Chain A
Amino acid sequence: MEFLDAKDLLSYLQDNLKENILDSRLETRTAGVKKEEFHNIWLEVKREKFRDTVKLFMELQYPHIAIIAGNDTGEKIELVYLFSLFYGEKFKEISINLKVSLEREKPSIESITDLIPGAQTTERETKEMFGVEFIGLPEMRNIFLPEDFPKDIFPFRKEQKGLDELVQKES
């Protein structure tokens, strides 16, 4: 396996995805007293091309997914998938933060658990907390919320203000 540097990685993604990239940003930060540089890539892709993007990563190295950070902006549900590629050597690892925006009314996206089985926990959490449907997710039960939790309440959406309101609704 060969390591790509961040610029090459970004142009590899741009060449393959072309106009499907909505936004891309190369972020350079320094670390330590010697101020050595390392890079993060922020990438926003069209929802339809999300799975293809993950497949592109897989052609380079088996990607590591840390977690999906969800955000309810009031109009959209934004998901940021925190990926990293090229582990194993000093300063070679590149973080790729892949963003997709979903319709707030009925958010759905394809599951990547068939590509990366380890993504199951975070997809299940995002499903129950934000009400995002993951197409092809093999395990549909709640992971952190109780099984008898109301199916139409998603605790991490912006309209949820905390326990009081939930308790009032239920009682």
Chain B
Amino acid sequence: MSISTYKIPIGPIHPSLAEPMTFNFEISGEKIQSVDLAPGDNHRGIEFMGRNRNIVQIIYLAERICGICSASHPFAFCRAVENAAGIEVPPRAEYIRVIIAELERIHSHILWAGIAAEELGFNSVLYLSWKVREEVLDLLEILTGNRINYGMYMIGGVRRDISEEHMPRIMKTLQYYKDAYQTLEDVFLKDPSIALRTKNVGIMTYEDALHLTSVGPTARASGVKKDVRQDQPYSAYADMDIKAITPDIYSGEVNGDVYDRIIVRILEVFQSVQIIEYCLDNLPEGEILSEPKIVKLLGTLKKAKGEGVGRHEAPRGEVIHYIKLNESENPEVWKARAPTYNNLMSWLPMLQRQEIADIPIVIASIDPCIGCMDRVTLVDSNTSKKQVLTREELMKLSIAKTRRILK
């Protein structure tokens, strides 16, 4: 007798994040047999738009690939152009770049932690995490003028300096996060119900992480010690000794499950605090831009010829930009790769044999950013035979599972 399976399509309205992506599940009983991914609902053709823009305009376009990695994309893009055109960045700018990038990591990881808690049905933890996140957003607003889309990065440096007056405020935020560590550890790592819902759920092995070319905390949680800040450091990271964080540092073992991904992100928040402290203690004096006159800079870039690759470790993993300049106003090629693009296939082993109620937390566990990954419009028509689970129904299932465990 054959075991009959049934299909559940989830999406394009995302089951765990408010972003569009379709998952087609093959279900047997309560267990997932196979999953088929259908992204593309959010493809905006950003690289295509870049063809009609000059290099400085593309920085702002790159910044809008993603609202959360809005320091990571311009950082990698500027590095790619500087590599291609041979532009040197002043040391002070290198340090400010890193400070902004690490502040972004703090807010991104805590945002994720809140979402993960919501997926499990702990709405109070969501509010607590996002309250903790506000502190760094306020600081970013003071330093850059914006909570997101900071507009800090420029070819050859940064646009705004960090002055002496900012120092006490930055120190206050760093102290705030040092104090918050205990709260976050208690809530996320020591709480028995979160452990019950996340341990041995959504496992990806070391081999899978390597073969599916996963990046960022998703790969590190499976024991792959891969981090651009460690492997090929750049900017101020090159002056520090940064070690890729794997879950065995905290728990002594690597399981590659959702719990391990929480460990890696929580620890990375405090790694970021240390990196910012180092940068502030060793902040070099001097210029913040190699060429403050934008018109002159554009003139130089118009005459430049060459290829360059810029890499940066964003909160979700490696962001990589490739640029080819060919003595023209617009770049010949611009290719941007966001971390979720590489982590897409990681969902396949993670979702195998999982229960339907675990879908939201497993999907959320790689911290997906569909806006980043998709960069045309798609209309999905489902046949009437298929059963559709809405986001609300799926959330109810997930919350009910947590309640069952708590009883």
Binding site for B on A (CB under 8 A): 29, 31-34, 36, 38, 40, 42, 62, 64-67, 69-71, 80, 82, 84, 86-95, 97, 116-122, 142-146, 149, 155-156, 162
> In the complex, which residues of chain A have a beta carbon less than 8 angstroms from the beta carbon of B151?
none
> In the complex, which residues of chain B have a beta carbon less than 8 angstroms from the beta carbon of A80?
307, 322
* Contact between chains at A97 and B345 (CB < 8 Å): no
Task: Confirm or deny: B67 has a beta carbon within 8 angstroms of a beta carbon on chain A.
Answer: no
CA distance A90 to B230 in the complex (A): 5
**Known interface pairs A69-B333, A118-B214. Does A32 touch B342 (Cβ–Cβ under 8 Å)?**
no
15 residue pairs from A and B, CB less than 8 Å apart: A31-B235, A31-B237, A32-B236, A32-B237, A64-B226, A70-B333, A82-B322, A84-B232, A86-B231, A90-B242, A91-B231, A91-B238, A118-B213, A156-B47, A162-B48
Q: Say which residue of B224, B239, B335 sits within 8 Å of A69 (CB atoms).
A: B335
- Mask, B196-222, CB within 8 Å of A = 1, is 000000000000001111100000000
Binding site for A on B (CB under 8 A): 39-40, 43, 45, 47-48, 83, 91, 94, 210-214, 224-226, 228, 230-239, 241-242, 244, 282, 284, 307, 309, 311, 318, 320, 322, 324, 332-333, 335, 337, 341-342, 344-345, 374-379
* Contact between chains at A40 and B213 (CB < 8 Å): no
How far is the CB of B9 from the nearest CB of chain A, in Å? Answer: 14
* Contact between chains at A88 and B226 (CB < 8 Å): yes
> In the complex, which residues of chain B have a beta carbon less than 8 angstroms from the beta carbon of A87?
224-226, 231
> In the complex, which residues of chain B have a beta carbon less than 8 angstroms from the beta carbon of A93?
228, 231-232
* Contact between chains at B335 and A144 (CB < 8 Å): no
> In the complex, which residues of chain A have a beta carbon less than 8 angstroms from the beta carbon of B40?
142-146
How far is the CB of B330 from the nearest CB of chain A, in Å? Answer: 12
| Closest Cβ neighbor of B211 among chain A residues | A117
* Contact between chains at A156 and B48 (CB < 8 Å): yes
* Contact between chains at A38 and B337 (CB < 8 Å): no
* Contact between chains at A89 and B322 (CB < 8 Å): no
Q: Say which residue of A91, A146, A156 sits within 8 Å of B233 (CB atoms).
A: A91
How far is the CB of B23 from the nearest CB of chain A, in Å? Answer: 14
> In the complex, which residues of chain A have a beta carbon less than 8 angstroms from the beta carbon of B284?
33
> In the complex, which residues of chain B have a beta carbon less than 8 angstroms from the beta carbon of A155?
45, 48, 376
How far is the CB of B143 from the nearest CB of chain A, in Å? Answer: 21
> In the complex, which residues of chain B have a beta carbon less than 8 angstroms from the beta carbon of A31?
233-235, 237-238
| Closest Cβ neighbor of B212 among chain A residues | A118
Q: Say which residue of A66, A67, A146 sits within 8 Å of B376 (CB atoms).
A: A146
> In the complex, which residues of chain B have a beta carbon less than 8 angstroms from the beta carbon of A149?
376
> In the complex, which residues of chain A have a beta carbon less than 8 angstroms from the beta carbon of B241?
90
CA distance A43 to B377 in the complex (A): 36
> In the complex, which residues of chain B have a beta carbon less than 8 angstroms from the beta carbon of A64?
213, 226
CA distance A94 to B233 in the complex (A): 11
CA distance A94 to B242 in the complex (A): 17
CA distance A62 to B209 in the complex (A): 11
> Which of A34, A71, A142 has the most chain B CB atoms inside 10 A of its CB?
A71
* Contact between chains at A66 and B320 (CB < 8 Å): yes
How far is the CB of A141 from the nearest CB of chain B, in Å? Answer: 8
* Contact between chains at A33 and B232 (CB < 8 Å): no
> In the complex, which residues of chain B have a beta carbon less than 8 angstroms from the beta carbon of A91?
231-233, 238
> In the complex, which residues of chain B have a beta carbon less than 8 angstroms from the beta carbon of A33?
91, 94, 236, 238-239, 282, 284
How far is the CB of B3 from the nearest CB of chain A, in Å? Answer: 25
CA distance A93 to B225 in the complex (A): 12
Q: Say which residue of A40, A70, A89, A116 sits within 8 Å of B230 (CB atoms).
A: A89
* Contact between chains at B376 and A144 (CB < 8 Å): yes
How far is the CB of A63 from the nearest CB of chain B, in Å? Answer: 9
> In the complex, which residues of chain B have a beta carbon less than 8 angstroms from the beta carbon of A38?
232-233
| Closest Cβ neighbor of A30 among chain B residues | B238
* Contact between chains at B233 and A32 (CB < 8 Å): yes
> Which of B225, B241, B333 has the most chain A CB atoms inside 10 A of its CB?
B333
> In the complex, which residues of chain B have a beta carbon less than 8 angstroms from the beta carbon of A116?
211, 213
* Contact between chains at B324 and A71 (CB < 8 Å): yes
How far is the CB of B331 from the nearest CB of chain A, in Å? Answer: 10
| Closest Cβ neighbor of B338 among chain A residues | A67
* Contact between chains at B307 and A42 (CB < 8 Å): yes
**Known interface pairs A82-B309, A90-B230. Does A146 touch B379 (Cβ–Cβ under 8 Å)?**
yes
* Contact between chains at B337 and A66 (CB < 8 Å): yes
**Known interface pairs A29-B83, A34-B238, A95-B309. Does A119 touch B232 (Cβ–Cβ under 8 Å)?**
no
* Contact between chains at A146 and B231 (CB < 8 Å): no
Q: Say which residue of A62, A66, A71, A121 sits within 8 Å of B332 (CB atoms).
A: A71
> In the complex, which residues of chain B have a beta carbon less than 8 angstroms from the beta carbon of A40?
309
* Contact between chains at A34 and B239 (CB < 8 Å): yes
> In the complex, which residues of chain A have a beta carbon less than 8 angstroms from the beta carbon of B342?
66-67, 118, 121
Top-3 shortest CB links A-B: A32-B238, A118-B213, A93-B231
> Which of A33, A38, A42, A82 has the most chain B CB atoms inside 10 A of its CB?
A33
CA distance A67 to B307 in the complex (A): 15
